[in-house]
A and B are shown apart, each in its own frame.
Chain A
Amino acid sequence: MSQPLSAHRFPLTLALLTVLVTLFMLTPMALSMTAGLVNNYSRGLASGLTTRWLEQVWEGYGDTLFWSLVIASSCAVITTVVGVPCAYALARSRSRGARLFEELLTLPVAVPGLATGLALILVYGQFRYFRQSFLFILVGHIVFTLPFVVRTVGSAFANRELISLEEAARTLGAGFAHRLLGVLIPAVMPAIVASALMVFTLSVGEFNLTWMLHTPLTRTLPVGLADSYASMRIEVGSAYTLIFFIVVLPLLWGLQVIANEVQKRYGT
């Protein structure tokens, strides 16, 4: 099949541009990861491949990965448990106070994490055990991610169709607990899963708030990453990036698959 020349030429330019942009984005990633596998970055591949940087990172920072995942999962669970009822209350309330609260709730997203972190330290810094535990970082992450849950789930609750669903349940005799657990939450399940996934992702990658809140003994993955970039050889930092990709990406993909399944099951 022959096509007019002009129709051919444009997509070709476009394809070329796409390839260029993609290469521009991917090269740093690829280079950064492979840098973690060579003996000496300045000499490149000629210096030979090694896993010793990976081992060194695992030794020194393996626990940051573990704690990052613990914090991210706890954060997703807690923001869901706290955020879903809050979202429901805000979606159903017509008071001006509720609207104002909704506005305030998004502040932690807009305010630089450093400022939020400083505020938390000023108020709770003197509680030593709290300050020195991972709980302190978890609280910071909850403050930062809760707005995402409330916003996402709240707009799902505000859906007109959901208001009818709730009324239908009431006419059939369902009290509040039955309506919330049996009808409303299943109906907004896709939004809940999507927001929990977003919270998990945000928490894993959160740096600037966490950097303010961490102590030498409580470090998350991104903080450890910054530490290694600042204080170690470039190969170690790159190996760290590689570990991040190897562990976190499959996990996120897996969660996305689960989320898609839920969407299919509960979606209308």
Chain B
Amino acid sequence: MELECTSVHIRQCAKTYPDGTQGLLPSSLDVHPGEVLALLGPSGCGKTTLLRLIAGLETVDQGGVIRFGTQEVTQVPVERRQIGMVFQHYALFPQMTVQANIAYGLRLRGVGDQQLKQTVGELIDLVRLKGFERKRPAELSGGQRQRVALARAVAVRPKVLLLDEPLTALDAKLKVTLRDELADLLRRLGVTTIHVTHDQQEALAIADRLAVMRSGKIIQVGEGEALYRNPKHMFVAEFLGRINRLQRTPQDIVSDTVTLAQIAVQCPHGPWPDIFVRPEDIQLKPLTVMQPIALITQRSFLGDRIHYRLEVAGQPELAAEAHRDSPYRVGERVSITIAPEHFMACESEQ
């Protein structure tokens, strides 16, 4: 099943609710044709509001414009906006069979029986639900329901597919499997997709690009890897993974270094009073001269890796991550190294 590729352009869209709360501050965003874009942020950041504005389930404040390709849809009601949406708890019609759920939108459009049967059959194959056509949603597992919801949303050949936390209702283990499956399915459909989630792993696994949001604002947009490696904003760095904050002295700033246990370590040039490094970028080695010394205060075995807490003179406590065979124990002293390119400088608050 081939779907249309439309771009989405959002210009200065804001949402003020009747009680005066600002769900979304004026925001602009472009989604490329056929791209999967994740709106990522903690709860209450405005990501769901933005999705509902794009869907047409909420009206945009005066002055905002939403375009699908060249067509302006700001005032088009949701029924005629040609979107497909997967809801958080799927919202499958409980009294209808899987087949009837998927066919619902097509039936409303007056699609003939022959065509209907063929499209629904194709979709059932696509989401691997053969044999479940006559079951009701209550008889399906969480993962199956999610696939029915997806099939129902794409059956009407939407211009844009909107996913509202599509994996939240599933348990942790299933989530990982279905995450990859969903990513694969979206690539095969090639439909422009906007995916709302608060789970950074999910966003990184499914989306081509992420828009990280906080307090009703889009903070940074970019590819997941770029955002992870070069966050412009401290919030983005923290939200996408864990980070350590290292403090720099005025002398450090002049000499492009950061001081760890009286040893100056090279870092990128810039006037930042703090500089950041991810736990996995701190390498632990046996004691070596002229390298910063750290005392291991905690060691947690996490299966595939080991998590350490380190005490480094002159700095707040650091978190480090190492391979599962890393031999160091609590109370041991080790040397640490950080490659200069692994330091991240970003705006701290605002």
Q: Are A183 and B93 in contact (CB under 8 A)?
A: yes
Q: Are B95 and A170 in contact (CB under 8 A)?
A: no
From A186, A189, A265, A268, contact of B137 by CB (8 A): A268
Query: Which residues of chain A come closer than 8 Å to B94, judged between CB atoms?
Result: 165, 187, 266-268
Query: Which residues of chain A come closer than 8 Å to B290, judged between CB atoms?
Result: none
A171 to chain B, nearest CB (A): 4
Taking chain A's interface residues, is the majority helix, strand, or loop, or is none over half, making it mixed? helix
From A170, A189, A266, contact of B78 by CB (8 A): A170
Q: Does B228 contact A (CB under 8 A)?
A: no
Closest B residue, CB atoms, query A170: B78
From B57, B78, B93, contact of A165 by CB (8 A): B93
Please provide the chain B residues from 50 to 100 with a CB less than 8 Å away from any CB of chain A in the complex. Answer: 55, 57, 78-81, 83-85, 87-89, 91-95
Closest A residue, CB atoms, query B83: A171
Please provide the chain B residues from 100 to 116 with a CB less than 8 Å away from any CB of chain A in the complex. Answer: 104-105, 108-109
User: A161 vs B94: C-alpha distance in the bound complex, in angstroms?
Assistant: 11
Q: Are B89 and A171 in contact (CB under 8 A)?
A: no
B53 to chain A, nearest CB (A): 13
Of the stretches A19-27, A117-125, A132-140, A172-180, the one at the interface is A172-180
Number of residues of chain B lying within 8 A (CB) of chain A:
28
Which residues of chain B have a CB within 8 Å of any CB of chain A? 18, 55, 57, 78-81, 83-85, 87-89, 91-95, 104-105, 108-109, 137-138, 152-153, 156, 162
Query: Which residue, of A161, A170, A186, has the highest number of chain B Cβ atoms within 10 A?
Result: A170
Q: Are A171 and B93 in contact (CB under 8 A)?
A: no
Q: Are A161 and B95 in contact (CB under 8 A)?
A: no
Query: Which residues of chain B come closer than 8 Å to A169, judged between CB atoms?
Result: 93, 104
A-B contact pairs, 16 of them (CB 8 A): A164-B91, A167-B85, A167-B87, A168-B87, A168-B92, A169-B93, A169-B104, A171-B57, A171-B84, A172-B105, A174-B104, A187-B94, A189-B95, A267-B94, A268-B94, A268-B137
Interface string of A183-201 (1 = CB under 8 A from B): 1001101000000000000
From B91, B156, B162, contact of A161 by CB (8 A): B91
Q: Contacts A178-B108, A268-B137, A268-B138: A170 and B57 contacting too (C-beta < 8 A)?
A: yes
User: A171 vs B80: C-alpha distance in the bound complex, in angstroms?
Assistant: 8
User: A94 vs B91: C-alpha distance in the bound complex, in angstroms?
Assistant: 23
Please provide the chain A residues from 147 to 176 with a CB less than 8 Å away from any CB of chain B in the complex. Answer: 161, 164-165, 167-175
